Structure 1
Amino acid sequence: MITVKAPGKLYIAGEYAVVEPGYPAIVVSLDQFVTVSINRAHDHGTINSKQYEQMPVIWQRKGNQLIIDNRDNPFEYILSSIKYTEIYALEKNRQLELFDVNVNSQLDATDGRKYGLGSSAAVTVATVTALARFYELDLKKEEIFKLAAISHFMVQNNGSFGDIAASVYGGWIAYQSPDRQWLTQQLNTTSLTNVIQQTWPKLKIESLTCPPELSLLIGWSGSPASTPVLVDKIAAKRTQQKASYQTFLQASRNCLQKMIQGFKQKQVALILQQININRHLLHQLAKFSGVSIETQRLTKLCEIAQHFGAAAKSSGAGGGDCGIALIENKSQKQQQLLQEWQKNNIQPLNFNVYESTN
């Protein structure tokens, strides 16, 4: 049996802008995992997961057509990961085999509701990594990232792959997404091996070290949100609101560049200042797009955190899921902050940053 685990993630800053090639974000890996095990099989292969058995089917109406949206269905990512890892294996002259896949996830609540920790990315990374070992492909981290990104892209084509990077590399990461148009063109015109070996335009993955004086606190709003759907809504508005959207992108880049500098130079005050600025930028984006990013409960989460001296904002696409707060370790108010969250139906998540060891 081959067993692999991949961590979940949270966005710290740079959401929405990071979907555009070359615009930075900061993302962090957490010590909550998707575990994938692969066993050689004989008559037929299976894919099993107790967490994903009751996944709802989401659909929409387009005219009179019923359209199934599978972008929140983890099985779609598992199947895509198998497909593209096996294409790569065939290009490396491996013989394909039957196998059983078993998936176990810590990235959702016990009742199945999503925390928003990037479960689709983690299950993609874990499946690709496990299959690469199964077929003895000897992939480096960059190759796992690219193969997982392609597998994910074929299910959800509007993401940034930042959650894939967090799952592969671990720790705190400064991230810029690649040019997806270029990637589409390459996938249509050349071999998968060649695509993975090339330098991807605009892609940047850089490890950061969080200043030891800072603690990351995570609060769950209790309300799951669909990242692909929210990103679709923003994408629909960006052509109608070109000037506002470009202003947002430039301001986000400026904010993230300063925040990354803060991490590199251990400037705690600068990091906290830019977290608050990034929250304000997301408010502006929500206002001109009409998309609800910071829900009432996420607003309460941020207000409580700020009352106790932390910098706080929604994490990821918003619309529910988690919010984050960064607070100085020396502050005696951390416990009071967490207690106040609980009083207001915000669940503190006792997760830690996961640093990859290999």
Structure 2
Amino acid sequence: MVTAQAPGKLYIAGEYAVVETGYPAIIVALNQFVTVTVTPAKRIGSIQSKQYQENSLMWSRQGDEMVFDNRDNPFHYILSAIKLTETYARELGKPLAVYNMSIDSDLDSTDGKKFGLGSSAAVTVATVKALNAFYALGMTPDQVYKLAAIAHLDIQGNGSLGDIAASVYGGWIAYRSFDKAWLAAQRRDHSLRELLAMSWPGLSIELLQAPAAMQLVIGWTGSPASTSQLVDKIAIAQARERAEYKQFLAASKATIEHIIDGFHAGALATIQAGVRRNRELLAHLAAFSGVEIETAKLHTLCELAEAAGGAAKSSGAGGGDCGIVLIDQTKAVAQLAADWAEHGIDTLALSVHEIPTQA
């Protein structure tokens, strides 16, 4: 029997721009996990999860056809991760086996509420890590990231894959996405083994050290959002408003690089200023794209946090889910939590998950 875990994540800054090659974002891994356990079986294997028993299907109408969106269904990510990891195992000459796989997740609440902590990425990474151990493949963290990124991209079709990086490396990360068009071209001509050994253009993953004085506070609005669908809408707006979108990208890049400098210098005030500026940029993106990023509840979350002395913004694609606050550790946050509660906003008792050793 082998067991592997992968943490959830939240985006701190750089959302939407990070889907473009080489544009930076700050992401943090959190101490809630997806755990995958693999045990040998004789003739018939199984894949089971308590959390995913009653997973719903998303669909839309195109003409008279029902078109299903599988991007929010965790089993598709699991199956994609299994398929690619076993392809890699066969390339290494490993015989394939039959097994039972069980998945346990604390990224969603016990009553099925989704917090937007990147469960699809975490389950993809945990599945790859578990099969890496089961088949004794000896993959490095970089190889796990690349294989899990391919598996996730095959299902989601868009996004930056930064949540995959957070689930592999842990802690605070400065992330820049790889060139997905390059990857698509290379996959036609190279084996997985070759792809995982290549340097991927644009990809950068840097572990950051947070200032000692900084604490992260997370609020949840109670409204789940679909990242894939929101990213789709921004992509449509990008084609329509090219000049505005290019200005957004340039401003986001400068802002996130300023935040990264703040991490390097241990300067909380610099990081906070960058977070506030990034919130403004996302508001402008929402205005010209027509996509609701900061909902009314997220706006309330942020304004209450700012009044308490923190720097706040929506996290990830927005449209619901979580907001993040970076605040000095000397500031009491109990009153902020109480103020949030009065407006139906939950404070999530989560902390940063560091992975101390990398193979």
Unmatched 5+ residue regions in structure 2? none
Shift of 1:63: 2.1
Instruction: Kindly report which structure 2 residues correspond to 1:45-56, keeping only aligned pairs within 5 A, or say none.
Output: 45-56=45-56
Corresponding residue for 2:139?
139
| Residue equivalent to 1:281 | 281
The aligned residue for residue 355 of structure 1 is 354
List structure 1 runs of 4+ shifted beyond 3 angstroms: none
1:199-210 to 2 correspondences below 5 Å? 199-210=199-210
| Distance apart, 1:256 and its partner CA | 0.2
Give the match for residue 181 of structure 1.
181
- 1:82-141 superposed Cα distances (whole Å, 9 cap, x missing partner): 000000000000001111110000001222121000000000000000001111100110
Post-superposition CA distance 1:4-37 (Å, at most 9, x none): 1100000000000000000000000000000000
Offset of 1:62 from its aligned partner? 1.7
Does 2:41 align with 1:41?
yes
Q: Secondary structure at the match of 2:156?
A: coil
Measure the CA separation in 2 of the matches of 1:352 and 1:293.
24
Cα distance in 2 for partners of 1:236, 1:83 equals: 31
Matched, 1:14 2:14: yes
Q: In structure 2, how many angstroms separate the alpha carbons of the residues matched to 1:55 and 1:299?
A: 30
Superposed CA deviations along residues 301-350 of structure 1, whole A, max 9, x for unmatched, are 0000001110000000000110000110112x311111111111100000
Q: Secondary structure at the residue paired with 1:205?
A: strand
What is the match of residue 226 of structure 1? 226
Query: Structure 1 unaligned runs (5+)?
Result: none
Give the Cα separation in 2 of the matches to 1:296 and 1:255. 24
Aligned with 2:188: secondary structure?
helix
**For 1:245 and 1:111, how far apart are their aligned partners in 2?**
39
Q: Is the partner of 1:71 in helix, strand or coil?
A: helix
DSSP 3-state at the match of 2:28:
strand
SS of residue paired to 2:243: helix
Per the alignment, residue 3 of structure 1 pairs with 3
Q: Does 1:120 align with 2:120?
A: yes
Where does residue 111 of structure 2 map in the other structure?
Answer: 111
Write the deviation string for residues 161-185 of structure 1: whole angstroms up to 9, x where unpaired: 1000000000000000000000111
Q: Distance in 2 between matches of 1:61 and 1:185?
A: 32
Aligned to 1:344: 343
* 1:124-161 residue CA offsets vs partner (Å, 9 max, x unmatched): 00000000111110011000000100110110110111
Report the AA paired with residue 170 of structure 1: G
Within a 5 Å distance, the mapping from 1:130-279 to structure 2 comes to 130-279=130-279
Q: Hey, what's the Cα distance between the residues in 1 that align with 2:116 and 2:283?
A: 20
Q: Which residue of 2 aligns with 1:78?
A: 78
Give the deviation of 1:64 after TM superposition.
2.1
Aligned mates of 1:113, 1:208 — CA distance in 2? 30
- Once residues 89 and 43 of structure 2 are traced to their aligned partners in structure 1, the CA distance between those partners, rounded to angstroms, is 21
Q: Which residues of 2 match residues 275-354 of structure 1 at below 5 A?
A: 275-331=275-331, 333-354=332-353
Give the number of aligned pairs: 357
Which whole-Å CA distance do the structure 1 matches of 2:74 and 2:26 have between them? Answer: 24
Q: Secondary structure at the match of 2:116?
A: coil
Normalising by structure 2, what TM-score? Answer: 0.99
Q: Match for 1:227: what amino acid?
A: T
Task: Give the residue type in structure 1 aligned to 2:355.
Answer: S
- Give the structure 1 partner of residue 63 of structure 2: 63
Cα distance in 2 between the residues matched to 1:315 and 1:189: 37
Give secondary structure in 2 for the equivalent of 1:94.
Answer: coil
> What letter matches 2:17 in structure 1?
A
The sequence identity of aligned pairs, in percent, is 53
Aligned partner of residue 305 in structure 1, secondary structure:
helix
**What letter is aligned with 2:47?**
I
**1: CA distance between counterparts of 2:95 and 2:60?**
40
How far off is 1:357 after superposition?
2.4
